[in-house]
Amino acid sequence: MSLAFYAPLKSPDHPIPSGDRRMAQALVEALGRTGQRVEIACRLRSYDRDGNVRRQERLQALGERCAEKLLRRYRRGRERPQAWLTYHGYHKAPDWLGPKVSTALSIPYVMIEASFAPKQAAGPWALGHRATERAIRHADLVLGLTAVDLECLASLVETTAQLRHLPPFLDPAPYATARAARDRHRGEIAARWAIDPGCPWLLAVAMMRADVKRESYLLLGQALERTRGPWQILVVGDGPARAAIEAAFASLGPRAVFVGALAEAELPALYAGCDLYVWPAVREAYGLAMLEAQAAGLPVVAGREGGVAEVVQHGVTGLLTPPRDMQAFARAVEALLADPHRRLAMAEAAWRFVAGQRSLEQAAAALDGALHDAMAIRAARS
């Protein structure tokens, strides 16, 4: 089967790293493991950060022209897809292509991690909100990555059979390899960044954007000011908000080590070498970095927001605290730092959880079944 894959927020081969790009890449890999041939149908980024209506209208026009161009190509018999999959369409990054192309070709239209926010109906992204609602209603199958998303999507599908849960996932192999060499990685980390191997290491990995990422970093700095005991934190990331974030951590002195952005291939070893992943998770969709950390055997302390509970099992693979409660967050970090036996038990549970319930192979099997069901649903709706 040939599949057209489109990610309106960020293409899988976009040059700027992010959790969204990593999940798009994971989806393409998982689909490939089902035996399907996956083509990135278009790299148009329909994302409008600022709520600029004129920009949204220009992106709509571009999207519609891209759809027509694709249809001309497909009608000439060139790599005609048998299904269209759109990843992460929402009001700021609507899908202007998929519904048009899938309708014209009479092929299934599948949405993965579609998000629907009714409060945006009359806001600056109203155009994208309407487009996203139409796309979801048009879809033959909608796969939600979190229970939060599924709840918002339920009223837009004709039957419950069109709505499925596909939990966040990853390929655990590189993290398992890193975990097996933890001692070596720890020595390399200590030498590279001149940190004390005799105290526990905290870790945070996130882009330093001037949005909710900055909010999480600022809250993390406040929580760590309240966190007693010997520890150091490695902060991995870069971006336009870096100066403000470093200023928020200034009171921590040498306990906070900023290492900048790292290549994705370097992250498994870093996760494996540290002792505790910490992230307040302000308005986090689910937090793929927290799943990566656990895959390497790193327990997590995080704020219980959005779909974070989909990737961190409270009391088993880490601790979840009330949203934006920095005192509770600090206490949770202190509790695990003071109890290495519990931390090690959580580390063991963490990698087993990812390998057993959030692996690429499990996602591939779920996607294979979803594609077959989408074909049947499309046939019944035709």
179 shares a domain with 131? no
Reading the block at residue 94, the tokens are 């609507």
- Phi/psi region, residue 148 (left: phi>0; alpha: psi -120 to 50; beta: rest), is alpha
**Does residue 78 have a pLDDT over 80?**
no
Residue at 235: amino acid letter:
V
CB 276 within 8 A of CB 202: yes
Q: Can you give the pLDDT at residue 192?
A: 97
Provide mean pLDDT across the span 130-145: 96
CATH number at residue 158: 3.40.50.2000
Q: CA-to-CA distance for 252 and 264, rounded, in angstroms?
A: 27
The pLDDT-based confidence of 17 (bands split at 50, 70, 90) is confident
- Phi/psi region, residue 367 (left: phi>0; alpha: psi -120 to 50; beta: rest), is alpha
**Of 329, 336, 279, 337, the residue nearest 308 (C-alpha):** 279
Q: CA-to-CA distance for 289 and 267, rounded, in angstroms?
A: 10
pLDDT digits (tens, 9 = 90+) for 235-280: 999 999 999 999 999 999 999 999 999 999 999 999 999 999 999 9
CB 228 within 8 A of CB 200: no
**Does residue 197 have a pLDDT over 90?**
yes
Q: Can you give the pLDDT at residue 329?
A: 98
CB 335 within 8 A of CB 229: no
Q: CA-to-CA distance for 143 and 163, rounded, in angstroms?
A: 6
The pLDDT-based confidence of 117 (bands split at 50, 70, 90) is confident
374 shares a domain with 323? no
221 shares a domain with 336? yes
φ, ψ (nearest 5 deg) of residue 195:
-110, 160
368 shares a domain with 305? no
Q: 81 is in which domain, residue-wise?
A: 2-169+359-381
368 shares a domain with 353? no
The pLDDT-based confidence of 154 (bands split at 50, 70, 90) is very high
180 shares a domain with 105? no
71 shares a domain with 212? no
pTM: 0.93
Provide mean pLDDT across the span 131-158: 94
CB 315 within 8 A of CB 350: no
Q: Can you give the pLDDT at residue 21?
A: 94
The pLDDT-based confidence of 1 (bands split at 50, 70, 90) is confident
213 shares a domain with 193? yes
The pLDDT-based confidence of 381 (bands split at 50, 70, 90) is confident
247 shares a domain with 199? yes
194 shares a domain with 49? no
Q: Can you give the pLDDT at residue 221?
A: 97
Provide mean pLDDT across the span 177-202: 97
Please count the other Cβ atoms lying within 10 Å of the Cβ belonging to residue 349. Answer: 18
Total domains, the chain = 2
3-state secondary structure the chain: CEEEEECCCCCCCCCCCCHHHHHHHHHHHHHHHCCCEEEEEECCCCCCCCCCHHHHHHHHHHHHHHHHHHHHHHHCCCCCCCEEEEECCECCECCCCHHHHHHHHCCCEEEECCCCCHHHCCCCCHHHHHHHHHHHHHCCEEEECCHHHHHHHHHHCCCHHHEEECCCCECCHHHHHHHHCHHHHHHHHHHHHCCCCCCCEEEEECCCCCCHHHHHHHHHHHHHHCCCCCCEEEEECCCCCHHHHHHHCHHHHHHEEEEECCCHHHHHHHHHHCCEEEECCCCCCCCHHHHHHHHCCCCEEEECCCCHHHCCCECCCEEEECCCCHHHHHHHHHHHHCCHHHHHHHHHHHHHHHHHHCEHHHHHHHHHHHHHHHHHHHHHHC
Q: Can you give the pLDDT at residue 182?
A: 97
157 shares a domain with 231? no
**Does residue 77 have a pLDDT over 90?**
no
pLDDT digits (tens, 9 = 90+) for 91-102: 999 999 999 999
Q: Can you give the pLDDT at residue 237?
A: 96
177 shares a domain with 113? no
